[in-house]
Chains A and B, each alone.
Chain A
């Protein structure tokens, strides 16, 4: 089956610094990847849709200047949390869509971000 990896799995950073999270589709090419945020005991909230070679589409209320998304290749999308604050602490999950009509999304294992 399709495999999506994320790196790092866990990161702790200080307020004001930036953190980059990578999402890779390991055995398929993904023209579309998605970034979600999951708060404790809550559902996944879609942050943005990342399309290879074009700008990401952000959901309402998500600051595009704070959460920078780059989808430079068909197997890699990155999310950079800029000037992180403690309220950005969360579980960030990416998914990659298998190309084709009705393509499924395969999810990465997530990245736990803690901002101190």
Chain B
């Protein structure tokens, strides 16, 4: 069965620090990859997505992610985080069908 793993469950950073959140998936075929963010008390929002083409994708709010097929990874990065980036981040994979398979999420806390 397909699965998505996020290695970092809780990340604490100071403002201006760089961020990288890991995401690995298990599926050998074609995948669509997503990162969603859930700010406190709000609904899930799409940060960025990868379907095909350039493996380095840029999303909203300065986030980017790199798809490395050989490593089955889709890590999320941001060079300089802000306090407002405090949120829960979910990696998700879509294979063949409409179904999204989510990782367990990473809670990011950014301190001023």
List chain A positions with a Cβ less than 8 A from chain B: 4, 32, 34, 41-46, 49, 93, 95, 97, 102, 104-110
Contact = CB atoms under 8 A, between A and B. Distances in A.
A35 to B, nearest CB: 12
Contacts of A43: 90, 102-105
A20 to B, nearest CB: 20
Interface residues on B, range: 10 to 19
Interface of B: 32, 36, 42-46, 49, 51, 90, 98-105, 107
Contact of B90 (A4, A44, A106, A108): A44
A102 B32 contact: yes
Nearest to B46: A104
A84 B104 CA distance: 26
A107 B104 contact: no
Contacts of B100: 34, 44, 46, 95, 105
